[in-house]
Every structure is written in structure tokens, then in C-alpha cells.
Structure 1
Amino acid sequence: MSSTYQKNVLFDCILLPKYSGLSIHYLFLILMTIVSFLSIHNTVAQPLSITLAAEDSWPPFADEFGRGISHNIIRHAFEQVDVNISTIVVPYARGLIMTERGSVDGVFNVTREQSTIDRFVFGNEPLFTITASFFFAKDYPTVAKNKWQLPTQSTIGIINGYEYGDEFTTLVEKRKLQVITVDSQRQLTNLLLVGRIDSAIMYDLVADVYIKRMGVNNDIQAKFNNHTSKIFVAFSKLNPQSKHLSELLDKGLIALKKQGKYQQLLLPLND
């Protein structure tokens, strides 16, 4: 409705009683109807806006500059359902805490497993699926063929706050593993290179980025799988709209797949 039309309607309503004898009560009803219509119209026109925490050190999915595969997929999926998003780039563990406290609406990239299901709201459609492996330095090889054959009391490096599958706790207990927790992929890689840990669990595509950046392609290799993760946006349980937001994201992801755009967004340099 144009502003000129609105003004004309109001003007006519104000002058109308002078010439037709309409009651003040009738004029009041007309004005209230117009105000209600404009209010509803403006409310419907306003898109939903949310804020998500994005981790700062998980390339090619999310980096310190707020870029990556996850950013692209989430932004395009929410665009399909008219939701505007803004992101706050923080360390992963902090993003989880911010979401639990309701400081942001959600956080990515989170594995949906029992430990996270208890803390967050998830949709049904993952952003993508990724594998994590046990990496070893070539100077410190292993004879194990799978994770259940790891020597007892082996020292394993992981990242603070990351999820490593529902079997990880059982694995640690059965093999009596010593777990060392650090804050970054680079720290994990360095500990592996100098023999401070026997192995590191790293997500394969993320490890590839850091190993290449550090120029140690010939010094570290993945030996066997730890787990396969379906990666999601985790929404805050303190936000009453979280279930709705997860459903909207599902709808957007499904739309991208039907349109044939989803596979393109999985490419690291695609925007």
C-alpha cells in the first residue's frame, strides 16, 4: 500500500462525517481497521533475523575470517526461507557455551551425538557428513590396524570441546588411553611431530588444510577411522523459536538439494 494512498484514505475518513453525517463511532472503527491492516502488513514484511556463533579454526568449513563451506551452506539455506543471519566468529568451545546460555541463537559445526542432543536443539538435515581419523607421525608409526587395537595407555591428542563420536568414551576406558586436550589444530599437529603424543584424532579435510599449510605432508598420515560425523547447526534450548528455526533450516537445505545448488556449495572456494 503506497503512502499516498494511505494519506488519501485517512483524509477522506476525516472529512467524510462533515458531508454524510457518519457517526464518530463509525469513523473510529474505520481508522482502527486501517491501523490494524498496516500493522499486520508491516509485521509480515519483516524477515526473521538470527545470530549464530561460528568457530574460527576449522577450514575449509569455517575460518577466522567468517568464511568457509559451512557459512555458505547455512547462508544460502536460510535465504531460501527468508531468514537473515549474522555470525560471531569465536573459538568452538566458546560458541557452545554462548549457545547454551542463550547469548546467540545457535552454533555450528556440531556433531549430533548423545552428548550434544542433551544440550541443544537439532533439525533432521545435516549440513554435511565428514570423517575423522587417527593420525600418526611417520617417525612414530603404529602397528595397530584399527582404533580398538591401539596399545594400552597410548597418548591421544584431541581439540577442546570437539565431539569424537559416541564410542570415544568407551574406547578411552577399554584401551586405558591418556587424552591430551589442546585448543588448536596447529598445536595438535606440532605435538604429533615432536612425539609428545602417540596419535591425534583430526577431521580428515581439516587436517589436510593444516598439514599442507605447515608443509608436513610427508611427515603425518591418517591410519584408520575414528568416526563419521553428521554436522549440524545446534540451536539454543533457551530460545522458544529453536524448534521452528531448525525446521526452517531443514526446509532450506532440502530446497537447495532439489535445485541442484547444494553440491556446488560443498566446494571450498564457492560463494
Structure 2
Amino acid sequence: MPILLKLLTAALFTCLSLAAYGEKLRIVTEPWAPYVYDDNGTMRGLDYETTVTVFQRLGVEVQWQFLPWKRCLAMLEQGHADGALDIFHSHDRDALLLYPSEPLSEVEFVVFYANDRPHPAQTLDDLRGLTIGTSPGYLYGAPFSDSTVFNREPAPSHEANFGKLLLGRIDMVITDRRVGQHVIKAMGLEGKVSQAPVVVSRQQQFLAVRRGAGMDLLVQRFAAELKRFKQEPAYVALSAKYGGFQVSNASGHTVEQQESGAP
């Protein structure tokens, strides 16, 4: 009984510490459809809706905020946010953040080209001399970030990157496969943009929180509940709703992505 009492007390500690004085867990993220995005004022997405379900089951209230990714990182570093949704594991931030053992999803970074200027790259070396549109605050794995054979040009949004691609201001755009497909459909670019065969990297996405009182327990409970939810029909339906996502478990293949520091 003493052991059980300690476990129950520990399980309640996180919720009580957050609930004290009406506090909520402050989570920041960048729109990253179809994982998380704003649909005419309503937040949607596979990882967002999964996270909402898990926190509801844990009895944790959450305050959400959409920001550019570099600003999300700054909020975490400055202590103005408690956690971030769909963040990649970076050893550089292990002293700041705690990551659950169970990932939310896995992204696959690929490159897209305009059909009237095809670049069907098979390898990174095939990008030699080209200008690749990127997103601020992200790097895409060491092979991509360390390469000197091509140029990188950031844009403020995925839509801006694809717009520049159509205008011929850049040669290719790098982004997650499903994100790219979502943007192409949303912008009506079917038949105008294609994906090259090369896969730049794969990386698991997490809900990570700042280190603090009770947070280590929170990530343990989050991981356990997330793992249970993934086995349920409700998750299968949610995954199908957003395109039949292949979601890896903690033992899945990972290519480490390092994200650049916030301002």
C-alpha cells in the first residue's frame, strides 16, 4: 500500500502543479499541415488531435499558440512556453527539454520541383548548383545541412516556398512529403509540381516539455497513454483521416535532425 500510495501521489502531482492557480500547460507549435494546422479558426491535424486526446485522458489542460518555428524555440529557451508540439529530438537541447519515449509521428524530408523545370534528383549530389527553398529554424539532417554543392534560400512559409518555385526564383523546395502534398493540393498545384525520388532524411516528431517540477512524470504518463491510444480504432480512424500516416514507435529508424537555434 505505501508503494501504491506513492505512485498515486506522483501521478497526481503533475496535474495538481499545473492546475494550481488555474495554470495550463503552454504549448507552442508552427502550422505544419496535415500534422497540426489552423482550419478557418479550428485547430486540426493528426498530431494535434492525438495530443489533445492524450492530455484529456491525463486530465491536463493545455493552452495552444501558433508561432513561426524560430519563435517557438525562443519561447522555450526564455521560459515563456512549457512545451512544443512536433519537435525533433536534438541532443543540444537535452538539458532544456524532456522527450517522451513514444513519438507522435515520423516525417520524411523530400524535395519538390516545378514540372516545367524538372530536377528528378536521385541523390543529394544531383542538387549540385541548385537553389533549394528551406524554412527558417530548420535544418534537415547533417548530409543536407553540411553539403556545399547547393545553395539554400529560406522563405517565411511553405506556401511562399512553393510560390517562389513556380516563379522560378528557386529550383526546388525541401519539406516533409505529406506537408508538401498538402500544400500542393491547397494551392491547386497538382500537375505543376512533382516530388524527386531522393529522400533527404527521416525523423520522429515529439511533444517535448521544458524540464521542471513534475515534468519527468508528465512525459512518462504521456508516452504510456499515447502508446495505448495508437492501438485503438479511434487512432486508426484519425490516421486514415489525415492520409494513412505511417507512425513509427520508439525503436523506428531515425536520421537525426538538428534544428537551428532560435534568435
**TM more than 0.5:** yes
Q: 44-53 or 60-69: which moved more?
A: 44-53
Cα offset, 1:208, TM superposition: 1.3
CA distance in 2, matches of 1:212, 1:78: 31
Residue 58, structure 1, aligned to residue 32, structure 2: yes
Change (3 A) 1:165 1:118: farther
Following superposition of structure 1 onto structure 2, how do residues 253-264 of structure 1 map, counting pairs within 5 Å? 253-264=226-237
**Pair member with larger Rg:** 1
Tell me the residue number matched to 2:257: none
Tell me the residue number matched to 2:132: 156
Contact 2:139–2:145 (8 Å) recurs in 1: no
Unaligned runs of 5+ in 2: 1-8, 19-23, 244-263
Cα offset, 1:94, TM superposition: 1.4
CA distance in 1, matches of 2:162, 2:137: 17
Tell me the residue number matched to 1:146: 123
Tell me the residue number matched to 1:252: 225
Q: Aligned pair count?
A: 223
Tell me the residue number matched to 2:103: 126
Contact 1:129–1:231 (8 Å) recurs in 2: yes
Tell me the residue number matched to 1:136: 113
Answer 1 or 2: higher relative contact order, Cα 8 Å, separation at least 6: 2
Change (3 A) 1:144 1:59: closer
Tell me the residue number matched to 1:226: 200
Cα offset, 1:73, TM superposition: 0.5
Contact 1:130–1:231 (8 Å) recurs in 2: yes
Q: Which residue of 201, 204, 215 corresponds with 2:177?
A: 204
Identity score, percent:
24
Contact 1:60–1:268 (8 Å) recurs in 2: no
Q: Secondary structure at the match of 1:123?
A: coil
Contact 2:134–2:174 (8 Å) recurs in 1: yes
Cα offset, 1:46, TM superposition: 4.8
Q: Which has the higher helix share?
A: 1
With structure 1 as the length reference, what TM-score do the two structures score? 0.73
CA distance in 2, matches of 1:226, 1:63: 24
Give the letter aligned to residue 229 of structure 1: Q
Tell me the residue number matched to 1:183: 156
Contact 1:110–1:231 (8 Å) recurs in 2: yes
CA distance in 2, matches of 1:233, 1:163: 19
With structure 2 as the length reference, what TM-score do the two structures score? 0.75
CA distance in 1, matches of 2:77, 2:162: 30
Tell me the residue number matched to 1:13: none
Cα offset, 1:113, TM superposition: 3.9
Cα offset, 1:240, TM superposition: 3.7
Unaligned runs of 5+ in 1: 1-39
